[in-house]
Structure 1
Amino acid sequence: MSKRVIMLVCSGGMSTSLLAANMVKVADQIHLDVDVFAVPMSDAVDFASKHTVDVLLVGPQIRYLLTDFKNKLASTAIPISVIPMKDYGMMDGKSVLAFADELIKNNA
C-alpha cells in the first residue's frame, strides 16, 4: 500500500498541527505509512492544487469554508470533509486517522 497523504486545514495551522502529530503517533504504532501535515486556510487551495493530497480535512472552526474548498478543488478529485468536532476537540488522532482512511477508501 502506498503512503497516504493527509492534509489538515485550520485558521492558522496551529491546532491542526497538534492533531497531525497525534495522528502520526497512531500511524506509527499500527505501521501505517502516512504523511499528515497541517496548513493554514489561506494556503490550502494553492497547496492542494500543486501537490499530491489523498484527503483534505477541515477543522470544525472553519467548516463554513467547506463548500468553497470543494468548489475550488473540484478538478483534483480530492475528498474533502470536516473533522468531527468531538474528535478534533479531544485531539483524537486514532479516530481522525480512521475517518481520513475511510474517506480515501471511499474515493478510490
Structure 2
Amino acid sequence: MKKMITILLILMTICLFQACNITQGPTHGALFSHTKFPGDFNPSNEVKSQRTAEGCTYTVLSLFSFGDSGAGKIAKENGIIRIASVDYKATIVYTTLFTKFCSVVTGESK
C-alpha cells in the first residue's frame, strides 16, 4: 500500500510539472513538439526584410533557464536598425525535460 501511494504521488508531481510548464504557441505536445508561429509585424509595412537574426531561451528540467530571446537585443547585436517582423519558434521535449523558445527578428540592416 505504501508503494502504491508513493507511485501515485510521483505521477501527480509529474502531472503538476507538465501543467505548469506552458510555452507560448499555437500547439503543445506532451512528448514532443516543434512549432513556428507568427508574432508581431510593422503594420505600415515599409521596412525591408534585409536581415534575419535569431535568439533563443532554453529551459532544462523546468529547473534551469538561460539565454536571451528579446527582440531588441537580437536586433542590436545583429545590426538590424528597423524591425519588420518578430516571429517565434518553440521546441519542446516531454514538457519538463527540455524547452527551446526562439524569437526570429527580420528587418533593415545598417
Please give the TM-score of this superposition, normalised by the length of structure 2: 0.20
Q: Which has the higher strand share?
A: 2
Q: Name the TM-score, length of structure 1 as normaliser.
A: 0.20
> Which protein shows a greater Rg?
2
